Amino acid sequence: MKVAVAKESFPDERRVALVPAAVKPLVKAGVEVVLEAGAGTSAGFTDEAYREAGATIATRDEVFAADCLLAVRTCGAGGSGWASDLCRLREGQILIGSCDPLSHPQACQEAADRGVTLFALELVPRITRAQSMDVLSSMANIAGYRAVLLAATALPRVVPMMTTAAGTITASKVLILGAGVAGLQAIATAKRLGGQVQAYDVRPAVKEQVQSLGAKFVELDLETGSSETAGGYAKAMGEDFYARQREQLGRIVAESDIVVSTAAIPGKAAPILVTRDAVSKMRAGSVVVDLAAERGGNCEATVPGETVVVDGVTIMGPTNLASDVPFHTSQLYARNISTYLLHLLKLGLPEIALEDEICRDTLVARGGQLVHSRVREAAGLPPIQAEPSQPATV
């Protein structure tokens, strides 16, 4: 099989789907690896390094002629670059990458219309044997770390407590909203910087994880028994719940110097946790970093992709923090996607092994149609009727 990586077409995306270290195990497995010239340059990986690892450097046309394409961003995650990539795809090609299938099912439908076999890495199941393929966790880890550094840089105060000859400086108060992978890394980073850290999550089960990192867990007077999905993600709640949540969180937000919000629900708009009124009550110079900005934001005043100042409070809405640290995020992503590809190859790719949970749960399009039940639902399509003795829709 010939596997190829093109230069990312998403605006300002600096990551690359494969790094030289990830090429070697693929070549060892008998895969012919081809990269577009300069594909890894922005992430710090030269064409020569890829050649030494066993890859071939080629033109974009040659890359898109491969049997299988690996991408960081494609379909709905590809933004304005998706249209130019789409017209190059052909029937029977395999496309693997981050696709944002639940928020942009129409882009996945476009890939299906071209006859592409599409796999979305965001849909990798949260099971033990798939942990090394979990791109969401890999990227969220870096985003949580980076968010705290951005906040600390923008804050007109120091983060740790300092005792000096001129007096004692008190530690800054840091509030982390959401204790998933990004939130836990943000907590750890804020603690390392010396902040006075507390965190809130709608899922009471994460309390121990928050406390194990040295942060205080914020408990609100809310009923949260059904707040977690079977996959471990936060579940969408009713508007009455969110209204009471915003009211109670507002008092804690107002006392914080830094707020990092990370609350996101797959395929849904991010819940508003920090109201415009809560921002107005924060001290001038305080900073909000909204990691849910790409989904609309957890802060009512967030402008996705921009930094704004509201009532003296700096509100940052980064939408692609992983791209700001492309060397290491590319390393992590490449490990995820190469491990995933090797798994599919062991199962007989290009044959599709629907009996395997990882393959089945990530398969979005095949044979000219969307085949993933959740993506079909998001696209407003009816379920596929399973044929006798055939597996049901994944």
Tell me the per-residue pLDDT of 347-360, one tens digit each, with 9 for 90 and over.
999 999 999 999 99
Beta bridge partners of 369: 366
| Best CA proximity match to 197, nearest among 150, 153, 161 | 161
Active site residue 126: yes
Give the chain's domains with CATH numbers.
2-133+326-378 (3.40.50.720), 143-319 (3.40.50.720)
CA dihedral 111, 117, 121, 122 (to 10 degrees): 50
Give me 101's structure tokens: 């299938």
**The Cα angle at residue 61 between residues 60 and 65, in degrees rounded to 5:** 115
- DSSP secondary structure string for all residues of 177-211: E--SHHHHHHHHHHHHTT-EEEEE-S-GGGHHHHH
The C-alpha atoms of residue 105 and residue 47 are separated, in whole angstroms, by 34
Among the options 50, 100, 109, 134, which is catalytic? 134
The whole-number pLDDT of residue 243 equals: 86
Distance CA 111, CA 225 (A): 39
How far, rounded to the nearest angstrom, does the alpha carbon of residue 74 sit from its chain's CA centroid?
Answer: 13
Mean pLDDT of the chain: 93
At residue 222 the predicted structure's pLDDT band, cuts being 50, 70 and 90, is confident
Point out the catalytic residue in the list 227, 233, 311, 373. 233
Q: Which residue among 106, 131, 280, 369 is the active-site one?
A: 131
Structure tokens at 54: 């066993």
134 catalytic residue (yes or no): yes
145 is catalytic: no
Interval 15-50: pLDDT, tens: 999 999 999 999 999 999 999 999 999 999 999 999
Tokens 């599919």 identify what position?
Answer: 344
| Cβ atoms of 173 and 258 closer than 8 Å | yes
| 119 φ, ψ (degrees, to nearest 5) | -120, 130
Claim: this prediction has a pTM higher than 0.85: yes
Query: Strand ranges (DSSP E) for 108-253?
Result: 117-120, 162-164, 167-169, 173-177, 196-200, 216-217
Catalytic residue among 132, 137, 248, 373: 137
Question: pLDDT-derived band of residue 389, with 50, 70 and 90 as boundaries?
Answer: very low
Nearest to 252 by CA among 298, 289, 218: 218
Q: Residue 394: its pLDDT value, please? A: 46
Are 62 and 6 contacting, i.e. CB atoms less than 8 angstroms apart? no
Own/partner long-range contacts of 386-391 (Cβ < 8 Å, ≥24 apart): 391/354, 391/355, 391/360
Mean pLDDT, range 230-256, rounded to an integer: 79
Catalytic member of 88, 126, 192, 244: 126
In the annotation, is 131 catalytic? yes
pLDDT tens across 281-334, in order?
Answer: 999 999 999 999 999 999 999 999 999 999 999 999 999 999 999 999 999 999
pLDDT at 178: 95
Instruction: List Cβ neighbours of 270 (8 Å cut-off, separation of 6 or more).
Output: 263, 264, 292, 295, 296, 297, 298
In order of 249, 347, 355, the CA distances from 221 in angstroms are 10, 49, 44
Active site residue 233: yes
Look at residue 324 in the predicted model and tell me its pLDDT.
Answer: 96
- Tokens 């840091």 correspond to 174
Could you tell me the pLDDT band of residue 85, with boundaries at 50, 70 and 90? very high
